[in-house]
Each structure stands twice: as structure tokens, then as C-alpha cells.
Amino acid sequence: MYPTTRRTLRRLGMILTVSACVTVTAAAQTNTSQQVDGKATTTTTKQHGTVTYVEGNTIVMKMSTGQVRTITVPDSRTALVDGKEINVHDLKPGTTLTATITTTTTPVLDRTVTNLSGTVWYVAAPSVIITLADGTNKMYKSLPGYKFNVNGMPATVFQLRKGMKISAEKVVEQPTTEISTNTTVTGHAPSPKVAQR
């Protein structure tokens, strides 16, 4: 029913209210957006490994699974090793590290409400041409299941007539998911070697 916007959204509902005696005072079209957060879920995973080589910001680790991984670590990333906060340049081969990864997943409902006012210029159901407040004519195609009211009484698009003043509200809801992760790294330095005599 409404022209395609920059974001393609799933159409869930529209209410059209038609009144033959209301003067159009609203702007041609207004949009409001709202974000509704659902209940977040959190999962935690752990990865264990031992540092086998360090050069600059790159470390080579042998994971507890037997896999060997090469990781580039920024200077800003720190680890808590034996209670002391260190960065990548302080790591030594033999240091065991545990990464605790907490992932928070939040369902989000993006709701966009579009309000439209105008006068019916032409009806060829299910299409309607509306003269907007700025004087331009636009065609909209009504989809099955849309509700209309004429002077407070339920009606269909087939009951609209030229000259009727209408106001329309389109509600579009798009479910999305926001994911955030937080990683903390702890570990133990290798035991110092005891000199043999």
C-alpha cells in the first residue's frame, strides 16, 4: 500500500480511518520509529590453550583440542596472569591461558509507524489514488486483510468514494537480533626452571 522505503520491511498491519467531514490538517506523511527490546539470553564458553611462541603482537597457541592457532592481539587487550594484568608483549611461551567468552543475544523489534492524510481522488479497488496535503496524487494498493472505517463504521476499500477525507496509519514491524560479546582472558605463567647442579 505504501511506496517502498529505504529499508525493506515485513508489513504486519494497517488501519485506515475514513471520514467525509474531517479537514486534512496533518502533513502529507510522517514516520516514527521505535525499538522494543525483548528478553536477552546469555551463553558462556571457555577456550584453553598454551602459548608456544610470541613475536610482536602475534602469538601461536596450542589449544586444548590439539589445534594450533595464530592470533594477532592488539596492545589494548590485556590478560590477568597470576593476578597481574599484562599485555601481549609480556606473554612468555609456556603460559596457559583461558578465554571466557560471554555472548548476549537480545531479540529486538524495530517498529515503524507511518501516518498519511489526504483526499480520495480515484478508487479502482484494491488501488486508491490519494491527493496528499501538498497537492500531489499518489497511488496506493491495498492488501487483503486491511481494515477501513468510514464515519466510524467498518468498511472495505471497495466502499471508498472520491472526495472522502482519509487518514491512514501503517505499522511495520521487523524482528532483528542484537549480539554482543565480552571476552576475559586469565592464565598462569610457566613455572621457573630450576637450575641443575
Q: Which amino acid is at 13?
A: G
Among all chains, which residue has been given the C-alpha cell 524495530? 110
Average pLDDT over every residue of 110-137: 83
Cell of 13: 498491519
Query: Is residue 8 over pLDDT 60?
Result: no
pTM score, whole prediction: 0.54
111 pLDDT band, cuts 50/70/90, is confident
Pairing of strands 96-124, 29-37: antiparallel
| Residue of 5 and 69 predicted with greater confidence | 69
2 pLDDT band, cuts 50/70/90, is very low
Tell me which range, 81-90, 105-114, 117-126, is most confidently predicted by mean pLDDT.
81-90
47 pLDDT band, cuts 50/70/90, is very high
Question: Distance of alpha carbon 17 from its chain centroid, rounded?
Answer: 31
- Percentage of the chain beyond pLDDT 90 is 41
pLDDT at 195: 56
3-state secondary structure of 4: coil
Average pLDDT over every residue of 141-154: 60
Length of the chain: 197
Q: How far apart are CA 73 and CA 58, in angstroms?
A: 6
pLDDT at 11: 32
Domains along the chain with CATH numbers: 11-38+108-177 (no CATH), 41-106+178-188 (2.40.50)
Q: How far apart are CA 43 and CA 100, in angstroms?
A: 10
Residue 46, classified by CB atoms within 10 Å of its CB into exposed (0-12), middle (13-18) or buried (19+), is exposed
- The pLDDT tens digits for 115-124 are 677 788 998 8
Cell of 49: 590453550
Average pLDDT over every residue of 25-44: 72
pLDDT at 191: 81
Q: How far apart are CA 2 and CA 129, in angstroms?
A: 11
4 pLDDT band, cuts 50/70/90, is very low
Q: How far apart are CA 139 and CA 7, in angstroms?
A: 20
Hey, what's the torsion of the CAs at 67, 184, 107, 34, to 10 degrees?
-140
